[in-house]
Amino acid sequence: KAGVTQTPRYLIKTRGQQVTLSCSPISGHRSVSWYQQTPGQGLQFLFEYFSETQRNKGNFPGRFSGRQFSNSRSEMNVSTLELGDSALYLCASSLGSAEETQYFGPGTRLLVL
C-alpha cells in the first residue's frame, strides 16, 4: 500500500497570506489528523477528521481550519498567516479507533516571512 502523502513538501509565504495543505491517507483509512511541529512547542494536535466530519479539535485559533472529502483526502487551511505559523505540518491517517496506529506523512514545511 502507498503511504500517506502530503503536498506540497515546502512552502514559503508572507504574513497575511493564506495557505492550503493537502493530505492523501492510506487507502482504506477514514481518519485523518493534523499536527503542527515547532522547535518551541513540539508536536501539537490541530484537528481530526473522520468520515468527512471533524471529530476532535486542538487548541488552535480559528485561522486554522480543515476539511475532509468523500475519498478521505484532507486539506487544512491557514488564513492570515503569522510568523509563528512557520512549522512542519504533519498529517496522519488511521482506521479511526484510539488504539489504531496513526501513520504519518513526510510533512509540509511552511515558512512565513
Q: Which is nearer to other proteins, 19 or 46 (CB)?
A: 46
Interface residues toward other proteins, by CB under 8 A: 4, 31, 33, 35, 42-45, 48, 50, 55-56, 58, 90, 92, 94, 96-107
Q: Which is nearer to other proteins, 56 or 80 (CB)?
A: 56
- Three cell numbers written together for 74: 484532507
Q: How many CB atoms lie within 10 A of CB 90?
A: 21
Query: Nearest distance from residue 1's CB to other proteins, in Å?
Result: 15
